[in-house]
Structure 1
Amino acid sequence: MSTTPAHVAVSKYRWIVLFACWASFTLTSIDRSTWGPASVFVGEGLGVPLASLGAFATAYYIGYVISNAVGGVLSDAIGSRRTLTASLFGAGVLMVVFGSTSSAAVGIAVQALVGLFAGADYAAGIRLITSWFRPNELGLVMGVFLTATSIGLGIANAVVPSLIAWHSWETSYHLFGAISIGFSVVLFFVLKPGPLGAPPVVRNSSTRRRFLPDFSLILRNRNLLVVSVAGFGGFWGVYGFVTWANALMIKGHHIPSKTAGLVIVIFSIMAAVSKPLLGFIADKFFPRRRKLLIIVLLGVYGLGLVAFGSLGTTASFFWVGALLGLVAYAATTLMVALVPTLVPATVTGTAAGATNAFWQLGSTIVPVVVGAVFAGTGSFLAAFSTLAAGPLVGMLLMFGISEPRRGTPSTPRAAALVDGKQ
């Protein structure tokens, strides 16, 4: 019996799926963010100098980027439920292991493995969500899903310092690792794929089972490739700001560190609010024109970064920082929602993982580039203009995207929705 989009729309279970994917993503975000408040204490415990602590974060993100790409393929090949629960379970186990290590070398290796497991739940969560929600609903639900990164960051910074003061840095890793393990077991028995998704393993023309998804559906998809490069520019601007804004305000304008930190807090709060808010607006008023809204948001963010680099008063940093928070993550959230509509359902996980892995390269490279620009010029404006180049180039690239329209579906999922059947 086929399932119509109307049936999917009234299914209450789909909200359980969204919550479960969001909670899993929040936990892996907490696992990742625990390093920030714990890093100094980890260094003291393992005898690692402050200047060398970056090796742990670098190791994690190497594993994380690889995991995004591989996790997407696994989601399409063996199923999103298995991939998501294995991701959370593995990350939890390795968090516990890291909290028990006494060697810096082993700790760095374990951090790489934590990242290698943790990154897979992003694509798996998107594949599960898109199997239950229609394309014209993805703006809101992806906005909700992606609040996990902001909330995970907040929880880690609120809880970990207290755990360290109460007992030790090891306790925070043991606690969040154990929670991740327990929740992954629950999700394994609770989650199931929805009627709008494709089966995890497809048959080829000779009816033999194919383990891997058809990568040609990704590599030949011009729209997806353009979104990948545009998203790289978006992430360049977003994570470059998060990484450098605090230090640049302190060094470039001699703003007190607490004041600079408060600017970033305002930015983060606005970002958390904007993800579901702008997603809802996109679903309501731009259901088949997300491209237009993304172009506007990227343009405003890029110009806002240039304006931020030109500011001279403390009050103006707060106002422009709030505006940047409102538009920064909204643009990347709508890109995440756009990706599943550009590909067949059989490669949703692969597309989500591959694009996010490429986008994360932008957040990996930009800190080094911006640091070099500021060191070479000493110019606050030059540093933020470098940041602005990413979203502004992304804005221009988005003009080349062709979105699926009613009556001319470009993917099996779109066709199913137009025909009223799956």
Structure 2
Amino acid sequence: MSTTNMQAESSSGKSFRWIILLLAFASFMFTFMSRFSWPPLIPVVGPVFHFTAAQAGSFMTAFYFGYILTQVPAGILSDRLGPRWILAGGLILPGAMLFLMQYMVDYNQGFWLRFAMGLGAGAVMSAASRALTEWFPANERAVAWGVLMAAPSLGLLLPNFLVPIINQSIGWQGVMQVFGIASIVIGILVACFVRTADNSVKSSGNPFGGLKVVFTTKNLMILAAMGFSLMWAEIGLATWANAYFKQLGFSAKAGGMIMVVYGIGGVLAPPSSAFLVKKLGNMRKLVFWSFLIQIPLTIIFGYLQSYTVLMVMAFLLGYVSYLVNSPLNILVTDVAGKAWAATAIGSTNFIYQFAAMISPMVIGWTIDATGSFFSTWYIIAAGSLTGLILVSMLKMEEKAI
């Protein structure tokens, strides 16, 4: 191959990595849109089926129960086979299950459809992380991860904006149709366009070798526990905020707009995290300050009743909370190494998601038991406090951004 052709191929590869990032971003965003299409519908669908608060919250638990089961297998397969088909399947299956939810007739049917949605969506994070690890060099990783980790917040923001509008126009069944079909379409695009990078370093030998690396490395276990703490707070708030706003007397649309603003804060946080890391000196400092600030903001949030003040506080809380996401996952891939990147992300996410599975139900039980949301904010803040303690236990050298 001539030097000119090699340069052209290299230039093409450099350009194509941004297409990979776009597809990874869209994939990750749509898994969040699928899961978070439910919280804005709790005040609408819950009364139709006479769900208790615990039952309504358990639909999120069902999703995350399925979600955690495929984290590790998807990571192992992505490291050995590449991310393409793992990523595509992680969108098509949840989309199909969400589409079918419009036909549910009782709690049990809805619960198991949500479980099946989680099985598919659980493959996306590790496959997307593998794609970024393959296609982006170390000096661009903060930007790439910053973009990718804006997806969860946007995936939370859009349902809170779109669900009330779609529900008002064509009903809650229409919400499930639209979101389900959209997820399937993105999955098909991923299958058509995602490919493995030419310089990919795939794992070989024992397929479970990466698990040994993850579960015997102290720093990775601390990072996993930090992710658990973060997820406890983020998913607890995202699941129950809409119901809290309804209790305050706000309409579903007004409550959804507060969460839209929360999501905007979350969308802006990951892309700006690289700049803040440079200012603070390392990623651990950013994570420490983010957890510290989350604690009082969360508790104060639960005492507010003014719509305007809630909007402002929601933005601040969303921004501070989602600053942690990018640095946390970059640290995980740094410690694990390139060959085990997807396995490490899948394994640590496996641990994170137990919080997402438990937190909504624990909060739902306290609401059922007390009849109020008073304890909700302290339960959520406990996750941030735990994360703050764990940051101080982390001892590692960080690579330059």
> Match for 2:196 among 181, 193, 196?
193
The 1:404/1:107 distance shift into structure 2, 3 A limit, reads same
User: How does 1:179-258 map onto structure 2 within 5 Å?
Assistant: 179-194=182-197, 197-199=200-202, 201-203=203-205, 210-245=206-241, 255-258=248-251
Shift of 1:363: 3.0
The aligned residue for residue 278 of structure 1 is: 273
- Cα distance, 1:211–1:40 mapped onto 2, change above 3 Å: same
| Equivalent AA in structure 1 for residue 143 of structure 2 | L
* Partner residue in 2 for 1:355: 348
The one of 30, 33, 37 aligned to 2:33: 30
Residues in 1 aligned to 2:11 and 2:289: alpha-carbon distance in whole angstroms: 31
Identity %: 27
Q: Distance in 1 between matches of 2:97 and 2:245?
A: 36
TM-score normalised by length of structure 2: 0.81
Quick one: distance in 2 between partners of 1:175 and 1:377?
A: 34
CA distance in 2, matches of 1:383, 1:111: 24
Question: How far apart, CA to CA, are the structure 2 residues paired with 1:173 and 1:313?
Answer: 32
Deviations 1:315-359 (A, max 9, x none): 654544432222111123321222111102222112112222222
The equivalent of 1:268 in structure 2 is 263
Q: Distance in 2 between matches of 1:41 and 1:247?
A: 10
State the Cα deviation string for residues 223-268 of structure 1 (Å, max 9, x = none): 11001112222222223333445556776xxx54357665444322
Contact kept? 1:246, 1:257, Cα under 8 Å: no
Matching residue of 2:51: 50
Does the CA-based 8 Å contact 1:43-1:53 persist in structure 2? yes
Letter in 2 for 1:49: H
Judged with a 3 Å threshold, the aligned counterparts in structure 2 of structure 1 residues 249 and 144 are, in CA distance, closer, same or farther, namely same
CA separation of 1:189/1:308 partners in 2, compared to 1, >3 Å: closer, same or farther? closer
**Residue 403 (str. 1) matches residue 399 (str. 2):** no
In the TM superposition, what are the counterparts of 1:122-141 in structure 2 within 5 Å? 122-141=125-144
C-alpha distance in structure 2 between counterparts of 1:379 and 1:183, whole Å? 37
Which runs of 5 or more residues in structure 1 are unaligned?
204-209, 407-413, 418-422
1:84 touches 1:121 (CA, 8 Å); kept in 2? yes
Query: What SS is found at the alignment partner of 1:355?
Result: helix
1:230 to 1:164, Cα distance in 2 relative to 1, 3 A: closer
- What's the CA shift for 1:294? 0.9
Q: For 2:175 and 2:310, how far apart are their aligned partners in 1? A: 34
In the alignment, which residue of structure 2 is the partner of 1:341? 334
Contact 1:235–1:359 (8 Å) recurs in 2: yes
Q: Using the TM superposition, name which of 125-134 and 305-314 deviates more.
A: 305-314
Query: For 2:376 and 2:58, how far apart are their aligned partners in 1?
Result: 24
Asked if structure 1 preserves the Cα contact closer than 8 Å seen for 2:68 and 2:354, the reply is: yes
Are the equivalent residues in 1 in contact too, given 2:146–2:270 (CA < 8 A)?
A: yes
The structure-2 alpha-carbon separation of the partners of 1:121 and 1:281, relative to structure 1 and needing over 3 Å to count, comes to: same
Partner secondary structure for residue 233 of structure 1: helix
Uncovered stretches (5+) of structure 2, i.e. residues with no partner: none
Q: Give the conservation status (yes or no) of the 8 Å contact 1:233–1:391.
A: yes
Task: Tell me the alpha carbon deviations over residues 110-151 of structure 1, each in whole angstroms, 9 at most, x when there is no partner.
Answer: 321121112211111111112222345333322321222232
Do 1:236 and 1:390's aligned partners in 2 also have CA atoms closer than 8 Å?
A: yes
Cα deviation code 1:133-174 (max 9, x no counterpart): 234533332232122223233433444455455555444434
Paired residues of 1:289 and 1:403 also in contact (CA < 8 A): no
Q: Normalised by the size of structure 1, how large is the TM-score?
A: 0.78
- Provide the alpha-carbon RMSD of the alignment: 3.6
What is the rounded CA distance, in whole Å, between the counterparts of 1:23 and 1:241 in structure 2?
23
Identify the match of residue 77 of structure 1 among 60, 77, 80: 80
- Name the count of aligned residue pairs: 389
